[in-house]
């Protein structure tokens, strides 16, 4: 025990810079996690965690599994739901630090890469809010660490470690498949490693990753391939050739990484590719270093380039490339050190200024995002305040009122639950249903009413509600728009009763948010089964 303790103390002292970065990240992200309410996507993934399965309508199941693990240990609170993402983010930074040490053999480079990545706006958001990208970034980075050791150092056992990480990626999000082309093209194009294409380990590893992925495939096979319907059919509807989308793709990357960091990344990719393939000299002349960098170049550049032509025909979100930014941060640092190292081994002023400017650029953008998230009332009034009762609410108003709505729902539910005919809770869409379910005391399950066949998101609720809406039972329908009940309740209940709305006001009387409550009395059934497109 003492030997282990001494080893841990020695390791912490040796890598005190990383420990400091992790401590600052943990503190800052924890503070952010407890202040703004959960977003609707976050509460939807929390809903997954209480309906554990091998698959869901929108994505593979890993995010729900991880939330269930963390909340199962620490309880279900706003912070513990987001703690899932924070822990994954800390793990990603640790893996990046280790990868940078392996590639550069310099603690300074590893620390700089970790700091740069931690400051990125995309890291601030995905390292706090729990989304499917949070575990994807972690598993992608872990797979990168293992596959580098398998290929460059030719340690065959690491193919299987990489396979486990790849299985985790695939169980998180479909775009994880972009990991594989970068690895394949590196092996194909570099003679020193091409022989590994003909060895058994890559194929056994790939088979292992598919085996890990197979429960999700089985779930889809037994559920009408719902996740494939959503990702390959439903989400692609009404998307055609559009010249604005590539501009939005690039703009999204400028926002995700900050303008300066994204520009530096593009320059780093180009310069490193040219110098390492055409100029054998330079700072990183060691075989392992050079080839490791080329492997990372392949794994970052190919997905970035892939999304550009795709963006002409489909929207590419800023977060689609989030999994690339740990390795991208390392490549930027490598380029700065590679391009500007003196004989004494220190960074020249130009490289120092570039890194400093990149860090400040990312930090300022992240700080701006942080301030707006914590203090949304800094935005213009027209984005916050609802003009009148029964008027459309501006987007930012969705930030407010969840606790009050939950308390009001609990009161109404307690009253109506006393009736012998039974009661179920409903709302108009998946985002509102999951938010209300989380913020109402006791976390009652909300279902959806009369979901349109062509609705894009939220059809997992249709799976969960099967057999739960009893004929003759009543429903409390909660919405943040006044008339949505018409198309959802009137056909399916004998009687409709309106309750007083809940108006969330500022101290000066201005309306922040309105919740509307409608009771559907005696459920008649007859809702169409619009779960599947087929």
Residues 364, 404: one domain? no
Give 342-351 pLDDT, tens digit per residue.
333 444 456 6
Residues 415, 330: one domain? no
Residues 251, 291: one domain? yes
CA-based torsion, 23, 28, 33, 35: positive or negative: positive
Residues 351, 433: one domain? no
Model-level pTM?
0.93
Does residue 282 register a pLDDT over 70?
A: no
Does residue 285 register a pLDDT over 50?
A: no
Q: Is residue 5 in some structural domain? A: no
Residues 239, 352: one domain? yes
Supply the pLDDT for residue 532. Answer: 87
For residues 354 and 316, the answer to whether their CB atoms sit within 8 Å is no
Q: Measured between alpha carbons, how far is 221 from 420 in angstroms, rounded to an integer?
A: 40
Supply the pLDDT for residue 424. Answer: 96
Does residue 210 register a pLDDT over 80?
A: yes
Supply the pLDDT for residue 6. Answer: 60
Residues 510, 411: one domain? yes
Does residue 161 register a pLDDT over 80?
A: yes
Domain boundary among 311, 340, 374: 374
Supply the pLDDT for residue 371. Answer: 87
Q: Measured between alpha carbons, how far is 119 from 112 in angstroms, rounded to an integer?
A: 11
DSSP, res 518? E
SS3 480: coil
Q: Is residue 100 in some structural domain? A: yes
SS3 292: helix
Does residue 123 register a pLDDT over 90?
A: yes
Residues 111, 57: one domain? yes
pLDDT band at 237 (very low <50, low <70, confident <90, very high): low
Residues 370, 444: one domain? no
Residues 79, 172: one domain? yes
Q: Is residue 135 in some structural domain? A: yes
Does residue 392 register a pLDDT over 90?
A: no
Q: Classify strands 511-523 and 474-479 as parallel, antiparallel or unpaired.
A: antiparallel
Give me the domain span that covers residue 73.
Answer: 15-374
Supply the pLDDT for residue 13. Answer: 73
CA-based torsion, 64, 68, 69, 71: positive or negative: positive
Q: Is residue 10 in some structural domain? A: no
Residues 327, 406: one domain? no
> What is each CA distance from 178 to 140, 174, 308, 324, in whole angstroms?
10, 9, 14, 10
Residues 423, 337: one domain? no
Query: Closest Cα to residue 394, out of 386, 403, 402?
Result: 386
Give 469-514 pLDDT, tens digit per residue.
999 999 999 999 988 999 899 999 999 999 999 999 999 999 999 9
Supply the pLDDT for residue 272. Answer: 87
Q: Is residue 449 in some structural domain? A: yes
Cα 528 to chain centroid, rounded: 32
Burial class (CB within 10 angstroms; exposed 0-12, middle 13-18, buried 19+) of 217: middle
Residues 47, 177: one domain? yes
Domain total in the chain: 2
């Amino acid at each position: 025990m003492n030997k282990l303790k001494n080893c841990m103390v020695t390791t912490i002292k040796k890598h005190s810079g990383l420990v400091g970065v992790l401590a600052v990240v943990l503190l800052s992200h924890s503070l952010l996690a407890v202040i703004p309410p959960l977003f609707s996507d976050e509460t939807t993934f929390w809903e997954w965690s209480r309906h554990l399965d091998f698959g869901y309508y929108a994505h593979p199941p890993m995010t729900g599994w991880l939330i269930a693990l963390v909340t199962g240990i620490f309880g279900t609170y706003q912070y513990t739901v987001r703690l899932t993402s924070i822990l994954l983010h800390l793990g990603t930074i640790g893996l990046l630090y280790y990868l940078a040490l392996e590639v550069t053999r310099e603690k300074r480079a590893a620390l700089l890469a970790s700091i740069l990545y931690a400051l990125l706006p995309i890291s601030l958001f995905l390292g706090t809010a729990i989304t499917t990208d949070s575990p994807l970034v972690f598993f992608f980075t872990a797979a990168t660490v293992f596959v580098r050791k398998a290929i460059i150092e030719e340690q065959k056992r690491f193919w299987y470690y990489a396979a486990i990480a790849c299985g985790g990626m695939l169980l998180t999000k479909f775009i994880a498949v972009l990991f594989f082309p970068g690895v394949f093209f590196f092996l194909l194009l570099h003679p020193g490693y091409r022989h590994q294409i003909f060895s058994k380990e890559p194929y056994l590893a790939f088979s292992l990753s598919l085996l890990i992925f197979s429960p999700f495939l089985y779930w889809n096979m037994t559920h009408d391939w719902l996740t494939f319907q959503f990702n390959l059919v439903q989400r692609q509807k009404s998307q055609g050739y559009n010249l604005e989308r590539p501009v939005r793709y690039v703009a999204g990357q400028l926002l995700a990484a900050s303008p300066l960091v994204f520009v530096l990344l593009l320059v780093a990719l180009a310069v490193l590719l040219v110098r390492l393939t055409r100029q054998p000299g330079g700072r990183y002349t060691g075989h392992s270093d050079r080839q490791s960098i080329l492997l990372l170049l392949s794994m970052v550049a190919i997905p970035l380039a892939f999304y550009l032509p795709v963006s002409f025909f489909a929207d590419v979100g800023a977060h689609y490339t989030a999994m690339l930014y740990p390795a991208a941060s390392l490549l930027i640092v490598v380029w700065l050190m590679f391009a500007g190292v003196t004989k004494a081994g220190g960074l020249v002023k130009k490289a120092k200024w570039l890194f400093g400017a990149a860090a400040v650029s990312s930090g300022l953008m992240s700080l701006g995002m942080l301030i707006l998230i914590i203090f949304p009332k800094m935005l213009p009034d027209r984005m916050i305040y609802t003009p009148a009762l029964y008027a459309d609410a501006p987007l930012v108003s969705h930030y407010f009122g969840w606790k009050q709505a939950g308390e009001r729902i609990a009161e109404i539910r307690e009253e109506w639950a006393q009736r012998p005919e039974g009661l179920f809770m409903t709302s108009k869409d998946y985002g509102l249903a999951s938010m209300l379910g989380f913020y109402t005391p006791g976390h009652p399950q909300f279902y959806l009413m009369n979901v349109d066949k062509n609705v894009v998101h939220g059809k997992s609720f249709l799976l969960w509600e099967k057999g739960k809406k009893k004929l003759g039972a009543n429903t409390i329908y909660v919405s943040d728009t006044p008339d949505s009940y018409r198309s959802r309740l009137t056909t399916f209940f004998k009687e409709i009763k309106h309750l007083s709305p809940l108006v969330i006001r500022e101290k000066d009387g201005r309306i922040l948010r309105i919740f509307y409550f409608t009771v559907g009395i005696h459920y008649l059934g007859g809702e169409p089964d619009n779960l599947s497109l087929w």
